[in-house]
């Protein structure tokens, strides 16, 4: 299991990754998860936080700023299943309202950064629900208080849904977990906790190189579907080895997000492809916050996913009673078509249009356009969907009737009726054959007795038959 983001200095892999803090730069070594994460961190110049805000091109270019006229995500809880979210980051002040640890190696509140990419969860959280912060005064006095609820600070990262609330669920992924719990155990536990604690949207910026998922995940994602929760997942990155979309982004009903470059075309490195892709969003030249209060340039569908999760939060805030399938339908049906006409494995239904998703008239969908895990389980696992409980480990009896015991057919003597019809058929064919033979004999004898007609040559040398009988 790898995380769906990459560092942005992919053109210069030999450069050691470095971070620039406001006062000084600190050099750090990049931790690679089995070679699946590549490239170094882009070396950003020293700058105040407002320069980071200026880099958030997607806010205007993808209709997010215009969507804020309708909603900013107030009252919606979004769970982030990741490496942990630092709720003390200046741009996340009062944003994190709950959390837990699914790994056994983190802190009980889910805010300790863990795993092979400990900064990953905070990057995702600031992009999704950052509030920005108030800058310090020019005189060097202490910084002003954080912006009041409902307002956005002028500096730092502002997320797509700046009034949404974050639930952080820390998981140890990308390297051996010191607590021993595998991703097969952590992911379903994290999903269930998020659902039980009021999440209306779950963001999973994690992925794998396999399209298949453990059967142990079925019940958890079914539980989220039955409880009407929108689940958003990253498609993965080619540069990290995800040429095809991997689980959990392949699970039916999950809104899978592919990545775009700065020109709104499919990213070569920071995206993937597959039939489960629902929509595309920016994945290159992204920015986000790091644990401890600093910032970073980054890239990957790990950033595309929280942008879309933020739009889902805006919709659920505007229409609290709207079902998850309608939320997903609103996002994909208002996307700008790209690539091959209609849905395709590169862009999905198209490019995210946040303004249209919040303002357009969208017909009600009869079902989730991205499928249903319940239907999938019914077909492929033959699971019992009556209750959202984990699938039993013991053998489940099939709902189909059992096949009858095989038996050897017993021969029986033919009846009188069985023999009468075949005999009549044989006699009929015999009479017909005799009649045909007699007719043929009669014609042959007639032809033999008739006198031959004389022939003579014409002036052209051709031969023609001369009828000796006089004209009538």
Residues annotated as part of the active site: 82, 120, 302
Cα gap 257→308, rounded to integer Å: 7
Cα gap 210→148, rounded to integer Å: 44
Please, which residues have CB within 8 angstroms of residue 292's CB and are 6 or more apart in sequence? 86, 89
Three-state helix/strand/coil letters over 77-122: EEEEEECCCCCCCHHHCCCEEEEEECCCCCCCCCCCCCCCCCCHHH
Buried b (16+ CB within 10 A) or exposed e, 310-322: bbbbbbbbbeeeb
The torsion angles phi and psi of 258, rounded to 5 degrees, stand at -95, 170
Please, which residues have CB within 8 angstroms of residue 357's CB and are 6 or more apart in sequence? 63, 67, 311, 314, 315, 330, 331, 334
Cβ atoms 383, 377 nearer than 8 A: yes
Please, which residues have CB within 8 angstroms of residue 255's CB and are 6 or more apart in sequence? 230, 231, 232, 233, 278, 279, 308, 312, 328, 331, 332, 370
Cβ atoms 369, 330 nearer than 8 A: no
């Amino acid at each position: 299991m790898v995380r769906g983001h990459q560092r942005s200095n992919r053109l210069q892999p030999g450069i050691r990754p470095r971070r620039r803090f406001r006062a000084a730069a600190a050099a750090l070594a990049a931790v690679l998860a089995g070679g699946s994460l590549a490239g170094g961190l882009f070396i950003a110049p020293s700058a105040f936080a407002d320069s980071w805000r200026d880099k958030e091109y997607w806010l205007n270019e993808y209709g997010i700023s215009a969507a804020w006229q309708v909603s900013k995500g107030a009252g919606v809880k979004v769970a982030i299943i990741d490496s942990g979210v630092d709720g003390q980051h200046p741009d996340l002040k009062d944003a994190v309202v709950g959390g837990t640890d699914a790994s056994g190696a983190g802190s009980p509140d889910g805010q300790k950064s863990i795993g092979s990419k400990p900064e990953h969860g905070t990057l995702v959280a600031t992009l999704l629900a950052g509030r920005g912060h108030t800058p310090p005064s020019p005189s060097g006095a202490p910084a002003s208080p954080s912006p009041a609820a409902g307002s956005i600070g002028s500096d730092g990262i502002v997320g797509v849904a700046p009034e949404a609330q974050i639930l952080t669920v820390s998981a140890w992924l990308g390297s051996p977990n010191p607590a021993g719990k595998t991703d097969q155990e952590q992911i379903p536990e994290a999903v269930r906790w998020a659902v039980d604690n009021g999440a209306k949207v779950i963001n999973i910026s994690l992925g794998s190189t396999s399209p298949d998922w453990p059967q142990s995940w079925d019940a958890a994602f079914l539980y989220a579907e039955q409880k009407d929760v929108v689940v958003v997942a990253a498609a993965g990155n080619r540069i990290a080895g995800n040429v095809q979309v991997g689980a959990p982004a392949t699970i039916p009903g999950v809104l899978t997000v592919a990545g775009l470059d700065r020109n709104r075309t499919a990213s070569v490195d920071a995206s993937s492809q597959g039939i489960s892709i629902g929509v595309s969003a920016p994945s290159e030249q992204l920015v986000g916050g790091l644990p401890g209060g600093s910032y970073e340039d980054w890239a990957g569908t790990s950033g595309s996913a929280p942008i879309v999760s933020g739009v889902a939060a805006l919709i659920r805030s505007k229409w609290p009673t709207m079902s998850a399938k309608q939320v997903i339908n609103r996002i994909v049906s208002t996307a700008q078509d790209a690539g091959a006409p209609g849905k395709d494995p590169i862009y999905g239904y198209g490019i995210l249009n946040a303004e249209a998703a919040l303002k357009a008239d969208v017909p009600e969908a009869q079902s989730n356009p991205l499928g249903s895990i319940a239907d999938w389980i019914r077909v492929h696992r033959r699971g019992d969907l009556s209750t959202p409980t984990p699938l039993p480990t013991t053998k489940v009896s099939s709902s189909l009737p059992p096949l009858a015991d095989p038996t050897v057919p017993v021969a029986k003597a033919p009846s009188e009726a069985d023999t009468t019809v075949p005999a009549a058929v044989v006699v009929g064919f015999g009479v017909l054959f005799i009649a045909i033979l007699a007719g043929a004999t009669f014609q042959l004898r007639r032809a033999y007795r008739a006198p031959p007609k004389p022939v003579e040559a014409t002036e052209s040398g051709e031969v023609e038959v001369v009828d000796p009988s006089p004209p009538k």
